[in-house]
């Protein structure tokens, strides 16, 4: 009902959501995961409050297992835009040597990511947390609200969600409850990349293709190398493959996809003709038919 | 497909509604599958499921049912959002369950849609549900309605059957004053007239469903709409700057326009339209901008800016249609919160003037309002509110009702004002 095209409509919608949260919550935070969606979300936040500064801090839930390039990018990018970044780690779990090889990915995620997130939110008493999740990414996320109300344990109850008609978001919550807010709900992977292109938004360089040493584990290319902590199993062969990361997570659980794309334009071309979904390389989503739903029920965003 | 990649495309938001088993999920699966928007790994996942359950045909409905409980029970519980694109347009589907008890989901899905896609089973014909879905599309002021007469394969692709059903559907639409109606015969299961024409419906001279979705106009004449701007935030980064941040709900505005603030009635002129990407000379629905004024006047969150010559009504008593969405029925005389635009305020419902019987398209006397019922009520608000009729102002004429005790959203409301004498 407008002559604004898709990206401009999505931009306006996201900005509207962020302004509502800042107006109606006492202590919001923006979860910053260093990935492409976080980069877009951050640009939208800059737009929403211009000419003012960001009226909330950013928080990175660090597992210690992120790629070196992600940490470098994070520190430089945050300095460049002058934002206030909180880095939160579940130090107890990290000190206890939590890792996916012994505990399995589900347990490792639960401790380092979900518990890390809940701990960070609790420590700083945040009542609203922006996350860059998109409905298109995964089938349980397709059922998420823009304002996702969580109980005092951060849990999501998919069968008991508030209706959310029009663009009217209900910010009334009970003591102990909080909301996860998803301003990018209606964006697709292609929208994100097109926006990165037209807005010239900086991204972590490992999104681009380069030759990497990898092992092929059930069709997922797991990077190996000196600064990576990947364990090589018996019988696995190290290969050099030109590949890129389509979505970024922890090193042991993020696979690369074969790719020739070295520019954002080339990435868009690959994404549009892609025959496999964006999270295909995320080992953590594949453990069962409802892995993501289960994680969200436990407090993941 | 590659040629149009970098171009920003039009966006069509549509909602789908159907009764149980009329093939809605199959149709969406078909649109996604035939437009190549389903990924191999997603397809493999549902093929694995079909194998496990020893079904011979892959169930495309499994592509849209995202929750474990939905897959177990084989039903859709909640609104699911799906995304696909063709070289011509991007689409957002709000897929809503069709059972009667889920009226609240359909209202939610339709509230943000430009088009409502309704399914009718060619064999079963027009049901009560069909009337209900058409009435909801009209109530929610959805601009376009497409009725797909599905399962044409079960009636031997009979033109006579289609014409008979078309006439009945057209009759209901006329009764509801639905202007933009399209009726298409399809078989979602076999793929006829969805993305491809197929060759079994040669007698149909219209275009396949996807062609229609790709070309139906999404531009509304902006000049017909008055400028509305609910103020979300007052931005004051320093002592020099005082701007009002919000999203334009309808119409357009330009620098120098005379504006009035509601409900206070104070006036000024637009000094600047500020964005991160630079100042604008004019802005329109649905842009999010920051407006500064020539005079320092008292404006806070929840106020509404409008052009001085296009004022909304201002009143503390008004009529509205309410779709009740809570298991606890509405209480007359109880205080509720409403959120309208960026304003949260208290209201009381004074009187139920009639309940809408969606299946028979008439209003019945009623003294209560329960889950999934729709009624016309009289509202009294704490203080006067700027009011727009929902049918002409889809973004400012609506509100949600919040129960102060549970904090739940218990109803969707639509303001209905008496027709202005012209």
Of A53, A174, A277, the CB nearest to B42: A277
What is the model's pLDDT at position B100?
A: 56
A292 pLDDT above the threshold of 80: no
> What is the fold of B313-416?
Elongation Factor Tu (Ef-tu); domain 3 (2.40.30)
Give the CA dihedral B384, B388, B391, B396, nearest 10 degrees. Answer: -100
A287 pLDDT above the threshold of 60: no
What is the mean pLDDT of the segment spanning A198-210?
94
Which one of B286, B337, B406 makes the best mutation probe of the A interface by having the most chain A beta carbons within 10 Å?
A: B286
Q: Is A194 exposed, middle or buried (0-12, 13-18, 19+ CB in 10 A)?
A: buried
Nearest CA to CA, how far is B162 from chain A (Å)?
Answer: 31
CA distances from B270 to A49, B244, B293, B307, B402 (A): 19, 11, 5, 10, 34
Does residue B38 or residue B332 have the better pLDDT?
B332
Q: What is the per-residue pLDDT across B299-316, written as a single tens digit (0 to 9) for each?
A: 999 999 999 999 999 999
What is the model's pLDDT at position B394?
A: 92
Tell which CATH architecture fits domain B8-215.
3-Layer(aba) Sandwich (3.40)
Helix, strand, coil % in chain A, rounded to nearest 5 = 40, 15, 45
Which residue from B minimizes the CA distance to A146? B81
What is the mean pLDDT of the segment spanning A55-65?
94
Q: Can you say how many angstroms the Cα of residue A294 is from the centroid of all Cα atoms in its chain?
A: 17
What is the mean pLDDT of the segment spanning A267-294?
70
Confidence of residue A143 (pLDDT cuts 50, 70, 90): confident
B contacts of A190 (beta carbons < 8 Å): 5, 85
Confidence of residue B360 (pLDDT cuts 50, 70, 90): confident
Pairing relationship of beta strands B374-387 and B343-357 according to DSSP bridges: antiparallel
* Average pLDDT taken over every residue of chain B: 89
What is the mean pLDDT of the segment spanning B10-30?
83
A273 pLDDT above the threshold of 70: yes
Does residue B65 or residue A211 have the better pLDDT?
A211
Count, residues in chain A: 301
Calpha distance B168→B289 (Å, rounded): 46
Domain boundaries, chain A: 6-191+290-297, 205-285
What is the model's pLDDT at position B17?
A: 82
Report percent pLDDT > 90 for chain A: 55
What is the model's pLDDT at position B74?
A: 61
Whether residue A162 lies within 8 A of chain B, CB to CB, comes out as yes
ipTM of model: 0.93
What is the model's pLDDT at position B205?
A: 94
What is the mean pLDDT of the segment spanning B121-135?
91
B11 pLDDT above the threshold of 50: yes
Kindly report the CA angle at A293 between A287 and A295, in degrees rounded to 5? Answer: 70
Whether the CB-CB separation of A292 and B67 falls below 8 Å is answered with no
What is the mean pLDDT of the segment spanning B278-285?
96
**Residue B368: other Cβ atoms inside 10 A:** 13
Cβ B1–A272 below 8 Å, yes or no?
yes
Whether residue A280 lies within 8 A of chain B, CB to CB, comes out as yes
Rg from Cα positions in chain B: 24
B59 pLDDT above the threshold of 80: no
Residue B341 Rama label (left phi>0; alpha psi -120 to 50; beta):
left
Q: What is the per-residue pLDDT across B311-348, written as a single tens digit (0 to 9) for each?
A: 999 999 999 999 999 999 999 999 999 999 999 999 99
Whether the CB-CB separation of A244 and A206 falls below 8 Å is answered with yes
Confidence of residue B144 (pLDDT cuts 50, 70, 90): very high
- Do B313-416 and B222-307 fall under one CATH topology? yes
Tokens of B259: 């504006």
Whether residue A262 lies within 8 A of chain B, CB to CB, comes out as no
Nearest CA to CA, how far is A169 from chain B (Å)?
Answer: 8
Of A159, A161, A166, the CB nearest to B111: A166
What is the model's pLDDT at position A276?
A: 66
Domain boundaries, chain B: 8-215, 222-307, 313-416
What is the mean pLDDT of the segment spanning B156-182?
96
What is the model's pLDDT at position B2?
A: 42
Calpha distance A143→B109 (Å, rounded): 12
- Reference B270, options B311, B229, B321; nearest CA is B229
User: Which of A22-26, A269-273, B342-346 bottoms out in mean pLDDT, i.e. has the lowest?
Assistant: A269-273
What is the model's pLDDT at position A250?
A: 84
B278 pLDDT above the threshold of 60: yes
Confidence of residue B224 (pLDDT cuts 50, 70, 90): low
Report percent pLDDT > 70 for chain B: 89
What is the model's pLDDT at position B71?
A: 63
Confidence of residue A72 (pLDDT cuts 50, 70, 90): very high
Cβ A48–B395 below 8 Å, yes or no?
no
> What is the fold of A6-191+290-297?
Rossmann fold (3.40.50)
Region B222-307: CATH code? 2.40.30.10
What is the model's pLDDT at position A106?
A: 83
Does residue B163 or residue B55 have the better pLDDT?
B163
Confidence of residue B18 (pLDDT cuts 50, 70, 90): confident
B56 pLDDT above the threshold of 70: no
Which one of A163, A167, A247 makes the best mutation probe of the B interface by having the most chain B beta carbons within 10 Å?
A: A163
Q: Is B388 exposed, middle or buried (0-12, 13-18, 19+ CB in 10 A)?
A: buried
Cβ A135–B81 below 8 Å, yes or no?
yes
């Amino acid at each position: 009902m407008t002559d604004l095209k898709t990206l401009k409509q999505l931009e306006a919608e996201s900005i509207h959501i962020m302004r509502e949260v800042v107006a109606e919550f006492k202590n919001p935070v923006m979860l910053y995961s260093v990935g492409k969606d976080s980069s877009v979300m951050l640009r939208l936040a800059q737009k929403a409050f211009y000419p003012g500064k960001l009226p909330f801090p950013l928080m990175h839930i660090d597992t210690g297992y992120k790629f070196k390039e992600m940490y470098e990018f994070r520190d430089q990018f945050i300095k460049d835009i002058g934002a206030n970044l909180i880095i939160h780690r579940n130090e107890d779990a990290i000190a206890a040597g939590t890792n996916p090889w012994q505990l399995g990915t589900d347990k490792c995620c639960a401790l380092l990511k979900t518990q890390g997130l809940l701990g960070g939110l609790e420590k700083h008493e945040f009542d609203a947390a922006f996350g860059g999740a998109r409905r298109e990414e995964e089938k349980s996320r397709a059922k998420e609200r823009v304002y996702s109300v969580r109980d005092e344990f951060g849990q999501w109850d998919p069968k008991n969600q508030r209706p959310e008609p029009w663009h009217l978001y209900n910010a009334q919550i009970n003591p102990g409850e909080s909301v996860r807010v998803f301003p990018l709900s209606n964006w697709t992977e292609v929208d994100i990349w097109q926006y990165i292109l037209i807005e010239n938004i900086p991204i972590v360089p490992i999104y681009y293709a380069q030759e990497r040493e990898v092992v092929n584990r059930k069709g997922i290319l797991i990077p190996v190398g000196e600064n990576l902590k990947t364990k090589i199993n018996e019988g696995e062969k190290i290969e050099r493959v030109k590949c890129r990361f389509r979505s970024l997570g922890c090193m042991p659980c993020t696979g690369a996809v074969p790719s020739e794309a070295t520019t954002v334009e080339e990435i868009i071309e690959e994404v549009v003709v892609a025959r496999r979904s964006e999270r295909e390389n995320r080992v953590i989503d594949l453990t069962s038919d409802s892995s993501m739903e289960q994680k969200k029920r436990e407090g993941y965003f | 497909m590659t040629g149009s990649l970098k171009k920003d495309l039009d966006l069509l938001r549509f909602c789908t509604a159907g009764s149980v088993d009329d093939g809605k999920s199959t149709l969406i699966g078909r649109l996604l599958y035939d437009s190549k928007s389903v990924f191999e790994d997603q397809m493999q996942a549902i093929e694995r499921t079909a194998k496990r359950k020893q079904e011979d045909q892959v169930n495309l409905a499994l592509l849209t049912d995202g929750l474990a409980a939905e897959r177990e029970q084989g039903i859709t519980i909640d609104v699911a959002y799906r995304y696909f694109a063709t070289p011509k347009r991007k689409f957002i589907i709000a897929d809503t369950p069709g059972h009667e008890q889920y009226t609240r989901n359909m209202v939610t899905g339709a509230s943000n849609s430009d088009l409502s896609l309704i399914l009718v089973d060619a064999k079963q014909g027009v049901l009560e549900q069909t009337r209900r879905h058409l009435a909801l599309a009209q109530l929610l002021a959805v601009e376009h309605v497409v009725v797909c007469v599905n399962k044409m394969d079960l009636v031997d692709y009979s033109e006579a059957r289609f014409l008979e059903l078309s006439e009945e559907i057209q009759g209901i639409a006329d009764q509801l004053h639905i202007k933009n109606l399209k009726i298409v015969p399809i078989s979602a299961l076999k793929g006829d007239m969805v993305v491809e024409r197929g060759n079994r419906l040669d007698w149909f001279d219209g275009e396949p469903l996807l062609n229609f979705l790709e070309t139906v106009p999404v531009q509304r004449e902006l000049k017909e709409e008055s400028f509305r701007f609910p103020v979300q935030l007052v931005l004051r980064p320093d002592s020099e700057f005082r701007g009002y941040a919000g999203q334009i709900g309808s119409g357009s505005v330009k620098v120098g326009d005379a504006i009035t603030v509601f409900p206070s009635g104070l006036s000024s002129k637009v000094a600047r339209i500020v964005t991160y990407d630079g100042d604008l000379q004019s802005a329109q629905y649905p842009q999010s901008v920051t407006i500064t004024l020539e005079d320092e006047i008292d404006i806070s969150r929840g106020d509404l800016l409008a052009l001085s010559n296009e004022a909304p009504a201002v009143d503390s008593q008004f009529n509205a249609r309410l779709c009740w969405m809570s298991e606890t029925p509405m209480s007359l005389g109880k205080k509720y919160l409403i959120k309208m635009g960026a304003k949260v305020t208290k209201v009381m419902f004074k009187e139920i003037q009639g309940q809408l019987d969606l299946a028979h398209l008439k209003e019945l006397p009623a003294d209560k309002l329960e889950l999934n019922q729709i009624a016309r009520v009289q509202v009294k608000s704490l203080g006067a509110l700027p009011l727009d009729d929902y049918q002409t102002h889809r973004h400012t004429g609506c509100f949600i009702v919040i129960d102060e005790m549970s904090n739940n959203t218990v109803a969707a409301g639509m303001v209905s004002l008496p027709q202005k004498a012209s």
